[in-house]
Amino acid sequence: MRIAVLVSGNGSNLQALIDANLSGQIIGVLSNKADAYALERAKQANIATAVVSHKDFPNRESFDEAMHQQLLAWQIDLVILAGFMRILTPSFVSQWQGKMLNIHPSLLPYYKGVNTHQRVLNTGDRFHGCTVHFVTAELDAGQSIAQSAIEVHLNDTVETLAQRVHKLEHFIYPQVAEWLCNGQLTWRDGQAFFNQKPLEQPIQFAQF
């Protein structure tokens, strides 16, 4: 399976995917920001890179089409979003339906969108974590595949929660990517299947 990773920043999840030695191959790393450190991580791993800056396009549709053309040029089978900070158009998403993953720093369906760590602290939740899901046109609403949770401590801050959730992300994201690469996880007719059975609930990894 030929994989592309879309990034905008530091690329710690990209590094976790590189280090996991997936049975698929990361063919290219695409960023909307030329100064994203994730691009340097890719170069150090001898992975092709491309920069498609959203600032160079008049609208989201033309930006997404340029990314789509780069993915086609790389002959990509699977797109992994790893800290990619642009909302994708429905047209782009539909072309990669069932072939695009994202990871979100909350236990979806709770806390879609941004500032998840602060919102968890504000509401006093006992548990927090991350979710790997298929990407759909609705933000953070695609079918959840896997989750991992931590217990929120009384002395936790936004920073400590972010650090702890990042560790979960680095563990479960490569695992889900590998399931797609080796065929354990598939997508048919708008539904995820795991080991040939419909995935009714996200797979829960042990809490850390």
The active-site residue, picked from 104, 117, 128, 133, is 104
Query: Which H helix or E strand runs over 121?
Result: helix 116-123
Question: Is residue 12 exposed (0-12), middle (13-18) or buried (19+ Cβ within 10 Å)?
Answer: middle
Task: Give the pairing type, strands 127-134 and 100-104.
Answer: antiparallel
* CA distance readout (Å), 175 to 84, 148, 198: 19, 12, 18
Count CA within 13 A, CB hemisphere, residue 188: 11
Beta carbons of 178 and 20 less than 8 angstroms apart: yes
Task: Give the pairing type, strands 185-188 and 144-151.
Answer: unpaired
CB neighbourhood size of 124 (10 A): 7
Q: Does the active-site annotation cover 104?
A: yes
In this structure, what token pair is assigned to residue 109? Answer: 């369906």
**Residues assigned a catalytic role:** 104
